[in-house]
Amino acid sequence: MAKEVKFSLVFRDMWQSAGKYQPRVDQLVKVAPKIIEMGCWDRVETNGGGFEQVNLLYGENPNKSVREWTKPFHEAGIQTHMLDRALNGLRMFPCSKDLRKLFYKVKKAQGTDITRIFCGLNDPRNVIPSIGYAKEASMIAQASLCITFSPIHTVDYYVNLAKTFIEAGADEICLKDMAGIGRPESLGKIVKGIKAIKKDIVIQYHSHAGPGFNVASILEVAKAGCDYIDCGMSPLSWGTGHADIITVQEMLKDAGFKVKDINMKAYMEVRTMIQEMMDDFLGYYIPALNHLNNSLLVKPGLPGGMMGSLMTDLEENLEGLNRWKEKNGQPKLSTDELLIKLFDEVAYVWPRVGYPCLVTPFSQYVKNLALMNVMQMEKGKERWSLIADNIWDMILGKSGQLPGPVAPELVELAKSQGRQFETEDPQTYAPDCLDEFRAKMKANGWELGQDDEELFEYAMHPSQYEAYKSGKAKADFEADLAERKAKKASAGTGAIKAQDLKVTVNGETYTVSIAPNDGSAPAAAPAAGAAPIAAGEGADVLAPLEGKFFLVKNASEAPVKVGDMVKKGQTIGYIEAMKTYNAVAADCDGQITAILVNPGDKVFEDDPIFKIK
């Protein structure tokens, strides 16, 4: 009898690999019946890393979204699965143990069947606890092997890692080929090796199309015994996304596998709905280059799920860099020139920081470090002169054990800054936090939510949740979308007209002014309901890079206030750029006389953000 290979629609990752945002809950509920009608899916990726956080960013409750989105698939007998960052949960930095346990209880209650647990360091200390917590919550625990290509990441390395996870109780194994750079022959050998350990273990293969290997890889893993294949569909297949279900289904059918037929009428209807979502607002956050396959991605090995945001990040950083170059009489760079410099620097940086698998958050860390190096060196500064705390945590071992050694130049830099390398279990650096967040919610008069899901959301994404609750997130999103629409509408006219946008949040209407960017930094707008902060006396502390300003990066930190005395080098705030928090340090001893921007405001490099006297 022919072996059956089943298909999973990675609907969440399709969007994450294309751009910045995900569909609204009304759009998800509308498309679900047609996805079911396609008849070819046994699983659908409905939520997880990146998906739920962006709901907050445009002002929607992610818990409501997940509950309504998973419901129709359950009723149709289709399993739902999510992406889970192990120690980091759904975010970029470690979670406490009590938050991790609540995480799985909430997601199971909301309707998620399978959690795909991964750690970009492939550190069992990060993955194995999550296997146990997921199973305690009656979820199916799918442990991932983060696939990359390096002298360290051999076939034996991955087979032995799978054995460790199976012995720890993993129900399934996923080959998470997040950059699509796994070589087909090697991937087939890994699947055979895992099946030799446990013949009936379920294996699912996930791969991105960008570098061009993944169709050949899908055929190899299927021949080796893989059970499920992740696929995308038009208009979000290929490019930085995934192989289209039509191609994969036809290829496997021709190879003699048993596969389900595709209802093409329903396929075309889903395709149309996805395009309508893109035309509505999502397409404004999808760079054109993300629709294209690119063999240049073989060298840096950056994951498809990150490429959706990378090109947007690159455009914003290029704008800031070229502003500096113009000011200093230097020729501007093009997007392609900066992209090649970035890819070359990633290839330089990656082995020197110990070969972490380039998947969230470590793909962002390596890419951000490489991009900061490029930006600094373009301005005549030294490589390694701007390293975010999150990235140092990875280098120093606080996120888990790196697969390879750290380069001597970074070891010396760490020592010169008084930083120590760590060998403790990474969980020890994230103490329990839920009682603290319960108290904060009570003080704010906020409900904990069904199954404590609002408590979970606040503890998982503190700053984003507060911006969502205040209405600032929605107001900022609406203003940004209006500006993007204005730019598109003005294409070909050579000018963008200034306009006022009215945004209603929680029953209150705010007027947001949209105006063309003349190359200078816009004045920071205060958060909804916040009074402007008057400038004081003293020297300016300037933003070291472009991004969003925050006083703290997590709830355990106490924010500095006007009137506080600070020491030179003391961290007094952060710039969040490309999903990492970059410390802003005091330039001198003195007193903070003014905080010139509000938390969550966008700032440009060299914008004044504090005054110290």
User: How does pLDDT run across 432-477, given as a tens digit for each residue?
Assistant: 999 999 999 999 999 999 999 999 999 999 988 999 999 988 998 9
How much is the pLDDT for 497? 46
546 domain-assigned: yes
pLDDT at 119 over 90: yes
603 domain-assigned: yes
Distance CA 427, CA 442 (A): 27
Peptide bond into 235 cis (omega under 30): yes
Domain boundary among the residues 284, 317, 332 is at: 284
379 domain-assigned: no
Question: In this structure, which amino acid lies at residue 476?
Answer: D
Mean pLDDT calculated for residue range 567-587 = 84
**Beta strands of 522-579 (E only): which ranges?**
539-542, 547-550, 565-566, 571-577
81 domain-assigned: yes
pLDDT at 523 over 60: no
Of 51, 110, 55, nearest to 85 (Cα)?
Answer: 51
How much is the pLDDT for 494? 47
% of the chain with per-residue pLDDT over 90: 65
**pLDDT interval class at 174 (50, 70, 90):** very high
Check if the beta carbon of residue 142 is closer than 8 Å to that of residue 172: yes
pLDDT at 20 over 60: yes
Question: Per-residue b/e over 226-235, b at no fewer than 16 CB within 10 Å?
Answer: bbbbbbbbbb
Distance CA 376, CA 383 (A): 7
Mean pLDDT calculated for residue range 335-345 = 88
Mean pLDDT calculated for residue range 145-149 = 96
Query: What domain range includes position 570?
Result: 539-612
Q: In the chain, how many domains are there?
A: 2
User: How does pLDDT run across 473-521, given as a tens digit for each residue?
Assistant: 899 899 989 998 998 887 755 444 444 444 454 455 544 444 444 433 3
Domain boundary among the residues 255, 284, 313 is at: 284
How much is the pLDDT for 579? 67
Q: Which range has the worst mean pLDDT, 158-167, 244-253, 298-307, 384-393? A: 298-307
39 domain-assigned: yes
**Residue 74: phi, psi to the nearest 5?**
-60, -45
462 domain-assigned: no
Stated as kind and residue range, the H or E segment containing 508 is strand 508-514
User: How does pLDDT run across 348-381, given as a tens digit for each residue?
Assistant: 999 999 999 988 889 889 988 998 899 889 988 8
pLDDT at 531 over 60: no
Domain CATH code at residue 587 = 2.40.50.100
390 domain-assigned: no
Q: Which range has the worst mean pLDDT, 302-316, 450-464, 556-570, 588-602? A: 302-316
User: How does pLDDT run across 249-262, given as a tens digit for each residue?
Assistant: 999 999 999 999 99
Domain boundary among the residues 259, 284, 309 is at: 284
pLDDT at 154 over 70: yes
If one compares 611 and 535, the residue with the highest pLDDT of the two is 611
Q: What is the mean pLDDT of the chain?
A: 88
pTM for this structure?
0.82
Distance CA 231, CA 228 (A): 10
